[in-house]
Amino acid sequence: MRTDTQIQKDVMEELKWEPLLNANEIGVAVKNGIVTLTGTVNAFNKKSAAENATQRVVGVKAVAENILVKISEEGKRNDAELAQAVLNALKWHTSVPDEKLNVKVENGWATLEGNVEWEFQRNAAISAVESLAGVIGISNKIKIVPASKSPDIRHRIMSAFHRSATVDADKVSVEIEGSKVTLKGKVRSYAEKRDAENAAWFAPGVNTVDNKLEIDTEVFVY
C-alpha cells in the first residue's frame, strides 16, 4: 500500500509534468490517500488541469480541490462580454447543441443550463468554456435527456468494459434501474474509476451514473 508521503511526492511531480501549470503555485497535502490541492491560479483551465493531473496518480482515492482562480486586471472582462464569449464558444464547438443551452454569467462565474442527449455533449460544453479568459468558475446544470432508451444497456456497457485497455471488467458489476446505471466493485486507480464511468455514460438511454466503485490500492506491488 502506498504511503501518503509517496502519493504526495508523485502528485507534485505530476503537476510539474503538466505543461499548463506552474507547480509552485499549487500546494499538495495528502491524508489517507485523499489529496487536497490549494493555491491560486490565473485561469480556470489551470484549476481543471491540476485536478486531472492529480487523478492520474496511482494511490489517489479522492481529490479535494481548493484552488482559487484570480484573474489579473488586464485579463478581466465584464459579465456581458464574457457571456457573449461563452455563447460563441458553445456555438463554435461541433459537439455542443448550443441551441439547447442557456448561459448566465455573474462576476465571472458561468452557469450552463439546458438539456442534451449525451454526456459527451455536456462535457464538451464545459471544455469549450473552461479555457476562456476571464472565467473564474463554472456551474454545470446541463441535464441528460436521452432521445430513446436501449433495452440492452447493461450488455453494451459490459462490452465496452471488455474492450477497454484500462478497465478490468471482471472486477466491476453493472446494475440498471430504468435509465440509471450503478457501478460497483473495485478498481486499481482513480483513472480506472473515471474511465469506467465514462464508458457507462456512452451507452444510449443513460441519464444517471452512480459510481460506487472503490479504489483498492493494495493491488499494486512496489
How far is 203 from 149, CA to CA, in rounded Å?
A: 9
Cα dihedral sign, 202-35-46-74: positive
Residue 146's pLDDT band (cuts 50, 70, 90): confident
106-145 pLDDT, tens per residue?
999 999 999 998 889 999 999 999 989 999 999 999 998 8
15-66 pLDDT, tens per residue?
999 998 998 999 999 999 999 999 999 999 999 999 999 999 999 999 999 9
**Total of domains in the chain:** 3
Assess whether pLDDT exceeds 70 at residue 219. Answer: no
State the pLDDT at residue 220.
Answer: 47
Find where cell 444497456 sits. Answer: 153
Which among 64, 51, 58 has a CA at the least distance from the CA of 18? 51
Q: What is the mean pLDDT of the chain?
A: 91
Out of 38, 54, 69, a domain closes at 69
**121 and 183 part of one domain:** no
CATH number, domain containing residue 104: 3.30.1340.30
**97 and 138 part of one domain:** yes
User: What pTM value is reported for the model?
Assistant: 0.74
Cα dihedral sign, 129-130-135-136: positive
How far is 76 from 134, CA to CA, in rounded Å?
A: 5
**127 and 164 part of one domain:** no
Domain, as residue range, for 62: 4-69
**19 and 63 part of one domain:** yes
Percent of the chain's residues with pLDDT above 70: 96
State the pLDDT at residue 152.
Answer: 85
Assess whether pLDDT exceeds 80 at residue 97. Answer: yes
State the pLDDT at residue 16.
Answer: 94
* Interacting residues of 55 by C-beta distance below 8 A, sequence separation 6+: 63, 190, 191, 194
